[in-house]
Structure 1
Amino acid sequence: MLDAPKSQPQDLETIARSGGVLRRMAARIPTYLTDVRENPVWLPMFLLARTMPFRKAHWLTAKPVRSSAGATPSMFGNLQAKAIATELRRTGIFVGLTLPAPIQEEIARFGHETPCFGNFERRLEFLAGEHASAERRFGRTILSGHHFERVLQCDAAIAVQRDPLLLDVARHYLGGEAKLITTRTWWSFPAKSASESDLSRASFKFHFDLDDWRMLKFFFYLSDVDADAGPHVYVRGSHNRRRLKHQLTLLVGHPADEVLSFYGEDSAITLTGKAGTGFVEDPFGFHRGTLAKQSPRLMMEVGFGVSKPSKRRYHGEPTIR
């Protein structure tokens, strides 16, 4: 099972929030402009979905879930989608998923044997086992390594994204129009030193995702994750209440002390567990990654939404010109 001790603010948060906000926003402008050109309805979503009145209004448009004619077996056993959706509405997170060992092992093998791209940059290509030499070769601190579209070469990863329980949970929570948006795998690597730019890109600040009006994300640890391996942190209940200050800003990331003082330190859980453990969350709730201190972490995400997905780039990758 997932161990969920209370989370505490860390010194890295102070580093990540110091300066650079305008620079980071300016760097994202080309990506935002491409989003608008590709899908004009993206702009009102980006501006309004962060506010609770408009967000709640959009939830009222959710289509009812059609009853399934027959239950399709799931690799996750007899978990009930409706019960999971109920827990998600209450806390924003459900922590009872476990990948079958053969599936976990196959995806982990893929993660080790397939080159990844460091810090979302395709020119920084290397195998996870060569992380230290890659940092020396590129002269860069590398905190993450994403596989981007290569994950689609992994049959076990495809089996997870197609598992009927995931879509069933998504439809019970998001509405009948819920659809698969993205599947990704990535490494988080330990680093002896990291710049402010590295830390801000790695999402060490508490933040919420704003890629759609309504979203749901399943996460699976593909390696053992303890307190020193970069565990994920989620603030329970923050998905359905939002401080006014956090609604009336274009920034999605906020300092830990500011977030926890409003939503409560007891609401934050740090998710650790053995390889194969997983959870599902509403990513509009505040969450964050933590810095891997000793061991690298391999993780998988399967995301669902209700709007047209972008096929132009993969998660975190800058606009391709």
Structure 2
Amino acid sequence: MFQTLRKKISVLRKFAEIRRGFVEFEKTGNTPPEAYSQMINLFCETKGYSNDLIHQIIKTPKRRFPSASGILGNYTNEDIGKITSTLKEKGYYIFEQGISDEIGNYLLELGCNTDLAQRPLDSEGYKDKIVYSKFNPTLVPKTIRYDFDEQMLINDPIIQKIMTDFSVLSVAQSYLGCLPKADVTGMWWHTDYSKEPNAEAATMWHFDMDRVKWLKFFFYLTDVTPDTGPHCFIEGSHRTNGIPKHLLKHGYARLTDKDIEDYYPKEKYIEYNAKRFTVIAEDTRGLHKGKAVTKGSRLIFQTQYSDHLFGGTYSSKKIVRFANPNIEEFIKSNKDIYERFL
């Protein structure tokens, strides 16, 4: 009895710390580290119930977009509903229509002609000055992962087109059940520099917890085979109670293949081997990883939409130029969607 009472008091204290964090966020736009830490702790302790409750409190009303059509397909409201149902049940959705050759080839060319940050194999490497270089997929790589600068990405005209696309926004809004906030935007090469799973390169199992609720879109820009490091996901693990208590006891940590294999049946293990320009939406609250690249390399673009910007801290990145007047007007008319970058 006393143990149960202590546990309830502990949960209430964590919620109180998170509430104080939201008050501070509204004043400053910054999430206090202790509040963010307690959000993660509560997620692990309640197996996801806490995030569900917080989301219901903070979510904002949906917005009517001109249509639900765009780069992912020409969708009706019924189509969006079916996609959302699949996402809620499985945690992922593979779109029948990938991005066009025009968009895909543009991003691939960008990936080969941009100075990128070479990510070290472990966090100790960040103590040294980050090295920048272009990545040539035909040459021997110098590190396991090459990262694009987010500031450059959000000011690229094609990426702005993706960020403001009505089909992407409609799927995100329907799944989140509230107005989507444009959030973490990234692009990276994974290479066969090291063929072992690596925490820094996200090639070990983990769940994300940057925000309260979110949806990510992964754009394959190269063909992805078992050799070139397909993205992997545990179907259904995004749901509340989807990750067992004994794995959550590890906290916000990387997990081994054995940790996963000992609990989840093989049919829940999803490995996305797919042609270039394939697009996948995924709730990365579920367990996922990028499989280690054993031969060659792969290029991925990722954009995320969240219910709120409370959570992990990212360096300030701003949109300083717009692709065209229509995109400028849309972003400025929807500042609450793009507030992180304005």
Could you say which TM-score interval applies, normalised by the shorter chain? 0.7 to 0.9
TM normalised by structure 2 equals 0.72
Note the alpha carbon deviations across 1:172-219, whole angstroms, 9 max, x for none. Answer: 11121321112111101112566x8xx221222211101011111000
- Corresponding position of 1:128: 135
Deviation of 1:61 (Å):
3.3
SS in 2 for 1:78: strand
SS in 1 for 2:70: coil
1:174, 1:214 within 8 Å by CA — same for their partners in 2? yes
2:218, 2:281 within 8 Å by CA — same for their partners in 1? yes
- Corresponding position of 1:287: 288
> Structure 1 residues 95, 130: CA separation in 2 closer, same or farther (over 3 Å shift)?
closer
- Corresponding position of 1:91: 90
Deviation of 1:132 (Å):
4.8
Deviation of 1:75 (Å):
1.7
Note the alpha carbon deviations across 1:214-244, whole angstroms, 9 max, x for none. Answer: 1110001011111111111111011111201
> Structure 1 residues 83, 64: CA separation in 2 closer, same or farther (over 3 Å shift)?
farther
Distance in 1 of aligned mates of 2:137 and 2:73: 37
Percent identity among equivalent residues?
A: 20
SS in 2 for 1:217: strand
1:218, 1:281 within 8 Å by CA — same for their partners in 2? yes
Larger radius of gyration: 2
Q: What RMSD, in angstroms, separates the aligned Cα atoms of the two structures?
A: 2.7
SS in 2 for 1:107: helix
> Structure 1 residues 129, 43: CA separation in 2 closer, same or farther (over 3 Å shift)?
same
- Corresponding position of 2:333: none
User: Please, which moves more after superposition, 287-296 or 120-129?
Assistant: 120-129
- Corresponding position of 2:31: 39
Match of 2:48 among 45, 52, 66: 52
- Alignment of 1:164 onto 2:163: no
- Corresponding position of 2:243: 242
Q: How many residues align?
A: 271
Deviation of 1:279 (Å):
0.4
> Structure 1 residues 44, 167: CA separation in 2 closer, same or farther (over 3 Å shift)?
farther
- Alignment of 1:213 onto 2:184: no
- 2:52 is aligned with what amino acid? K
Distance in 2 of aligned mates of 1:69 and 1:312: 29
- Alignment of 1:61 onto 2:57: yes
Distance in 2 of aligned mates of 1:129 and 1:76: 29
1:92, 1:238 within 8 Å by CA — same for their partners in 2? yes
- Corresponding position of 2:9: none
- 2:73 is aligned with what amino acid? G
- Alignment of 1:81 onto 2:80: yes
2:63, 2:179 within 8 Å by CA — same for their partners in 1? no
2:218, 2:302 within 8 Å by CA — same for their partners in 1? yes
Distance in 2 of aligned mates of 1:252 and 1:308: 22
> Structure 1 residues 134, 287: CA separation in 2 closer, same or farther (over 3 Å shift)?
closer
1:238, 1:263 within 8 Å by CA — same for their partners in 2? no
Which blocks of at least 5 consecutive residues in structure 1 are unaligned? 1-34, 136-141, 315-321
- Corresponding position of 1:187: 189
Note the alpha carbon deviations across 1:91-138, whole angstroms, 9 max, x for none. Answer: 000011511110111111111111111116662211111885663xxx
Deviation of 1:73 (Å):
3.6
Which blocks of at least 5 consecutive residues in structure 2 are unaligned? 1-24, 121-125, 318-342
Q: Which has the higher contact order (CA 8 A, sep 6+)?
A: 1
4+ residue segments displaced more than 6 Å: none
- Corresponding position of 1:278: 279
User: Please, which moves more after superposition, 255-264 or 229-238?
Assistant: 255-264
1:222, 1:298 within 8 Å by CA — same for their partners in 2? yes
2:137, 2:296 within 8 Å by CA — same for their partners in 1? no
1:217, 1:282 within 8 Å by CA — same for their partners in 2? yes
Deviation of 1:52 (Å):
2.3
Distance in 2 of aligned mates of 1:246 and 1:193: 25
- 2:72 is aligned with what amino acid? F
2:68, 2:74 within 8 Å by CA — same for their partners in 1? no
User: Please, which moves more after superposition, 62-71 or 110-119?
Assistant: 62-71
